[in-house]
Amino acid sequence: MSIFGRRKKKKLEEQQTIEQQAKEQKLNEEKQTKKEPEVSPAETQVNPQNVTSEEAEEIDRYNRGLEKSRRTFGQKLTALFTNFNGVDDDFYDDLEETLIGADVGFETAVQISDEVREEIEAKHESDQQVISNLIVAKLVSLYTRNGTTEDNHLVFATEGPSVFLFVGVNGVGKTTSIGKLANRFKKRGKKVLLAACDTFRAGAIEQLQEWGKRDGVPVVAGPEKSDPAAIVFDAVKKAKAENYDLVLVDTAGRLQNKVNLMKELDKMRRVITREIPHAPQEILLVLDATTGQNAMSQAKIFKETTDVTGIILTKLDGTAKGGIVLAIRNQLHLSVKYVGLGEQVDDLSPFSPKDFVDGLFSGFLETSK
């Protein structure tokens, strides 16, 4: 082709490019002028089928709060299969170490590894993708076995005030969790009362009173070192007399030994039950997810000394080891009822096994299909 022919061809190609760009610009302008339905950012990230805006916000909160755990867990599973040469004893040892590193706990890790081994050997399976999905499926099944997911919901009194006791060591976010729950229930039309019964920790009473001001709910309190049972007595009497729906009771997080802890909590429970039969409806143990297996140790101690009915797991967004939820469920047979997924006042969410599983594993499952 002559030099003039090449120039003519080049000019023609440039003209076609200009025309194509003009068409694309016109299409973009038409899209921008169309009136799009107004939806919240959360609603655009979930399947719209039968999902309310509130449910969509909760799903989005799980996705954001579990980002660190999801990313790290996916990396751990990817590393497990990086040098995959088939299933042997070394593979199962590596699998156990991977799960333990994700905070699912030793017992749960061994259980999952044994179940995976049994199924692989029964099916003579060797495909890497099938095995990786099987591991995730086994972890997911920890919250669906025997269909026991109903106990994740809080229990309220059929009539009169409901009373929730909050227990846990200092520093786990107990008082903050009470403040966030008070805000949540007040927004839902509940008449809420707080009881500042942690009279031993310096500043605990003032901290709960500050939450009361923020939430716009009253706080029954006394001086430091006063008898917690006397404070809770005043609180339940007020709740009955003034028709409160819910009493949230902060308790001491540090006593000299388990015997003292048990005696104090038993005394408070007797006072509550004497005034309001069948109360307290919930004794909620608050645990810090970032402490991993130390949180498990705390849970075991409190379960031995009190009738814990459920767990509030705080700071789940601050840990890369979301497996602690699975360990609590599998080893302690306690339900996680609320989880902390951020620092905002509305980032304490009811625990949803489905949303948790989706938030923790969805990214990995999408890349492994």
C-alpha gyration radius of the chain? 27
The last residue of a domain, from among 148, 172, 202: 148
Enter the tokens of residue 264: 């104090």
In eight-state DSSP terms, residue 242 is T
Same domain for 306 and 210: yes
What is residue 42's predicted lDDT score, i.e. its pLDDT?
A: 30
* 253 in a labelled binding site: yes
Query: Side-chain half-sphere of 157: how many Cα atoms within 13 Å?
Result: 20
Q: What is the 3-state secondary structure (H, E, C) of 286-335?
A: EEEHHHCHHHHHHHHHHHHHCCCCEEEEECHHHCCCCCHHHHHHHHHCCC
- Distance, in Å, from the CA atom of 220 to the CA atom of 133, rounded to the nearest integer, reads 52
Rounded CA separation 351/341 (Å): 10
- Find out whether 172 is annotated in a ligand binding site: yes
Give the total residue count for the chain: 369
Question: Would you state the structure tokens that stand for residue 165, as one six-digit string?
Answer: 């006791």
- Predicted confidence at residue 261, as pLDDT, reads 77
Question: Which pLDDT does position 354 carry in this prediction?
Answer: 73
Q: Are residues 240 and 111 part of one domain? A: no
**Domain of 222, in residue numbers:** 153-352
Asked whether residue 173 is marked as a ligand-binding residue, the answer is yes
Please state, as a whole number, how many other Cβ atoms lie within 10 Å of the Cβ of residue 18.
10
Provide the CA 200 distance to its chain's centre, in angstroms.
29
Instruction: Enter the pTM of the model.
Output: 0.74
| Residue 314 labelled as part of a binding site | yes
61 φψ region: left (φ > 0), alpha (ψ -120 to 50), beta (else): alpha
Q: Are residues 226 and 106 in the same domain?
A: no
Same domain as 171, residue 141: no
CB 321 within 8 A of CB 102: yes
CATH number of domain containing 121? 1.20.120.140
- 254 annotated ligand binder: yes
Kindly list the distances between the CA atom of residue 41 and the CA atoms of 44, 62, 70, in Å, as whole numbers in the listed order: 5, 14, 21
Closest C-alpha to 363, from 330, 329, 335, 322: 322
Q: Which of 226, 299, 312, 234 is nearest to 264 (CA)?
A: 226
Task: Give the C-alpha separation, 164 to 283, whole Å.
Answer: 6
Tell me: is residue 325 an annotated ligand-binding position: no
CB distance 244 to 268 below 8 Å = no
- Give the residue from 148, 176, 210 where a domain finishes: 148
344 and 204 within one domain:
yes
Cα separation, 129 vs 265, in Å, equals 51
DSSP strand E in 23-132: where?
A: none
Number of domains in the chain: 2
In a domain, 92, yes or no: yes
Here the CATH number for the domain that contains residue 198 is 3.40.50.300
The backbone torsions φ and ψ at residue 279, rounded to the nearest 5 degrees and listed phi first, read: -100, 155
Residue 175 assigned to a binding site: yes
225: Cβ contacts below 8 Å, ≥ 6 apart: 199, 200
List the one residue out of 38, 105, 90 whose CA is nearest residue 299. 105
Tell me if 315 is assigned to a ligand binding site.
yes
Taken in order 204, 198, 171, 201, the sign of the CA dihedral is: positive
User: Residue 203 annotated as binding?
Assistant: no
**279 domain-assigned:** yes
Do residues 92 and 180 share a domain? no
- Residue 190 falls in which region: left (phi positive, over 0), alpha (psi -120 to 50) or beta: beta
Quick one: 118 and 255 in the same domain?
no
Is 174 annotated as a binding-site member?
yes
- pLDDT at res. 212: 96
Q: Are residues 283 and 270 in the same domain?
A: yes
Q: 223 and 303 in one domain?
A: yes
38, part of any domain: no
Query: Where a domain ends, among 132, 148, 164?
Result: 148
Closest CA to 351 of 296, 313, 322, 324: 313
Tell me whether the omega of the peptide bond preceding residue 48 falls within 30 degrees of 0, making it cis. no
Give, for all 369 residues of the chain, the pLDDT tens digit. 544 344 444 444 555 555 555 555 544 444 333 333 333 233 333 344 556 777 787 778 777 777 777 777 777 777 787 777 778 888 888 888 888 877 777 888 898 899 999 999 888 888 888 888 888 788 777 765 544 444 578 999 999 999 999 999 888 999 999 999 999 999 999 999 999 999 988 899 999 999 999 999 999 999 988 999 999 999 999 999 999 999 999 998 765 466 777 788 889 999 999 999 999 999 999 998 888 778 888 888 888 878 899 999 898 887 757 677 777 877 777 888 998 888 888 888 888 777 777 777 665 554 444
**Nearest of 281, 280, 315 to residue 295 by alpha carbon:** 315
Q: Residue 105, annotated ligand binder?
A: no
316 annotated among ligand-binding-site residues:
yes
Domain shared by 95 and 158, yes or no: no
Whether 162 and 281 map to the same domain: the answer is yes
Q: Do the bridges between strand 310-314 and strand 348-350 make them parallel or antiparallel, or are there none, so unpaired?
A: unpaired
